[in-house]
């Protein structure tokens, strides 16, 4: 878990672009990807392609279907990095407990009893290997969504 961290999202999420994988189903968790968040935990720019020198990649999530006591987990996976890492290599993971009383990993809710936060993974020492990646979010051990992203050689704005 050396590269994975969690942060609280204490803001309104109106108008965000959500993960298209979730659009066709009854989403339990809505997600977006970014490499830069403001001090209010809002993304500066939503994206799904990053350069190999990107210092941090964030998955920002929200849900109005979760309850205190449930566990949310993220697993960061390198799908295909042109043999730099094994296919489907698990980079990192992290669990959090939803807890309104401040004793668990997350101690706040958003308006309307919604939960939200962000997970992040930091750049490996030698930079991100080029290729395809994804993050998997689980609720109580059940896969809730997959969030695909790409690492490319060119610098992106």
Q: What pLDDT, in 10s, does the model give residues 61-79? A: 888 888 888 999 999 999 9
Question: Rounded to the nearest 5°, which phi and psi values hold at 113?
Answer: 60, 30
Can you give the pLDDT at residue 8?
39
Report the alpha-carbon distance of residue 117 to residue 108 in Å, rounded.
9
Question: Rounded to the nearest 5°, which phi and psi values hold at 50?
Answer: -130, 155
Q: Any idea how long the chain is? A: 157
Can you give the pLDDT at residue 157?
56
Q: Over the stretch 78-91, which tens digit does the pLDDT of each residue have?
A: 999 999 999 999 99
8 or 56: which leads in pLDDT:
56
Can you give the pLDDT at residue 71?
92
Report the alpha-carbon distance of residue 48 to residue 112 in Å, rounded.
28
> Quick check: 153 and 50 in contact, CB under 8 A?
no
Instruction: Name the token pair of 80.
Output: 């295909």
Tokens 């790409």 — which residue?
150
pTM of the model as a whole:
0.77
Three-point CA angle 34, 38, 40, nearest 5°? 115
Number of H helices, E strands in the chain: 1, 9
10 or 55: which leads in pLDDT:
55
113 or 144: which leads in pLDDT:
144
Sketch out the chain's domains with CATH numbers. Answer: 4-152 (2.60.40.1930)
């Amino acid at each position: 878990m050396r590269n994975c961290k969690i942060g609280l999202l204490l803001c309104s999420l109106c108008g965000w672009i959500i993960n298209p994988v979730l659009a066709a189903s009854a989403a339990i968790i809505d997600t977006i990807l970014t490499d830069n968040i403001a001090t209010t935990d809002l993304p500066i720019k939503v994206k799904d392609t990053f350069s190999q020198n990107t210092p941090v990649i964030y998955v920002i999530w929200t849900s109005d279907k979760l309850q205190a006591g449930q566990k949310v987990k993220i697993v960061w996976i390198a799908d295909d990095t042109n043999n730099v890492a094994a296919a489907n290599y698990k980079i990192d993971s992290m669990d959090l407990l939803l807890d309104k009383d401040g004793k668990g990993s997350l101690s706040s809710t958003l308006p309307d009893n919604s939960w939200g936060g962000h997970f992040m993974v930091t750049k490996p020492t030698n930079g991100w290997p080029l290729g395809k990646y994804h993050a998997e979010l689980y609720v109580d051990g059940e896969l809730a969504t997959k969030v695909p992203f790409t690492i490319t050689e060119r610098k992106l704005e």
